[in-house]
Amino acid sequence: EIVLTQSPGTLSLSPGERATLSCRASQTLTTTFFAWYQQKPGQAPRLLIHGVSNRATGVPDRFSGSGSGTDFTLTINRLEPEDFAVYYCQQYDTSPKTFGQGTKVEIK
Amino acid sequence: EAHLVESGGGLVQPGGSLRLSCAVSGFTFRSFAMSWVRQAPGKGPEYVSAISADGATTYYADSVKGRFTISRDNSENALFLQMNGLRADDTAVYFCARSDFGFYDYWGQGTLVTVSS
């Protein structure tokens, strides 16, 4: 099973700043089958990015994804108040599909 | 707009059973694979089970294989998860989600399953 390790665990930033979230896979992904989700308290995860860098419908362009192999990044430019949440990465390259443990983006 | 609503969660004793349901609207249910994903308190999501669009093929995480059964009724736009032999580590919020491409693009609000004596 591919283990996804997210860093940092918590990111303390101010609105307007840039957030850079990392996700490292325990094995090399040979495809672009990689996604990012946002989750707010009491809500289901929301798909942000699929295929490493493709924004889901309705996701603002301040969210962008990049990476390949074992290292993937979610960047949020100019944090808005509604962006403070927990973010999870997910690989669907190899069964079973697995998620990271999450990065919390909190208001500094 | 896609709308998924889970039901059937609750408190159950270890070894007990529950049947979760997910009512779906807003897209052509019979055309898409579907999944169950769970999330234990304070943890990341975890894949549980998936089913093909026609219901002919099913998949399970090793942790639930032999205990859980996924099924669907395309005439009723409904997804199910029969959970038997429940254990304390099955305690989680269970989400149904559309998963046709491997990622999960639509999710329900979740239903809480608590396994405790």
- For residue range A45-95, list pLDDT tens digits in order: 999 999 999 999 999 999 999 999 999 999 999 999 999 999 999 999 999
pLDDT at position B86 is 98
Interface test with B, best of A10, A30, A97, A98 (most B CBs within 10 A): A97
- Cα–Cα nearest to A93, from A57, A69, A74: A69
Is residue B6 predicted with pLDDT exceeding 90? yes
Query: What rounded mean pLDDT belongs to chain B?
Result: 97
Task: Give me the residue from A44, A56, A99 closest to B44, CB to CB.
Answer: A99
Residue B97: the pLDDT is 98
Q: What is the C-alpha separation between B98 and B96, in angstroms, rounded? A: 7
DSSP state of A81: G
- Integer angstrom CA distances of residue B15 from A11, A104, B49, B51, B88: 40, 35, 20, 25, 9
pLDDT (mean) for B21-44: 97
pLDDT digits (tens, 9 = 90+) for A19-46: 999 999 999 999 999 999 999 999 999 9
**Measured distance CA(A66)–CA(A21) in Å, rounded:** 11
In order of A57, A67, B49, B103, B106, the CA distances from A54 in angstroms are 9, 12, 25, 12, 16
pLDDT at position B87, please? 98
Contact flag B102-A92 (C-beta cutoff 8 Å): yes
Q: Quote the minimal CA–CA distance from A24 to chain B in Å.
A: 15
CB–CB contact A47 B101 (8 Å): no
pLDDT score recorded for residue A104: 98
Q: Which residue of B has its CA nearest to A88?
A: B44
Report how far residue B3's alpha carbon sits from residue B108's, in angstroms, rounded to the nearest whole number. Answer: 7
Question: Hey, what's the torsion of the CAs at A75, A78, A82, A84, to 10 degrees?
Answer: 50
Task: Using the predicted structure, report yes or no on whether residue B112 has a pLDDT greater than 90.
Answer: yes
Res. B100: pLDDT tops 90: no
pLDDT over threshold 90, residue B84: yes
With cut-offs at 50, 70 and 90, classify the pLDDT of residue B11: very high
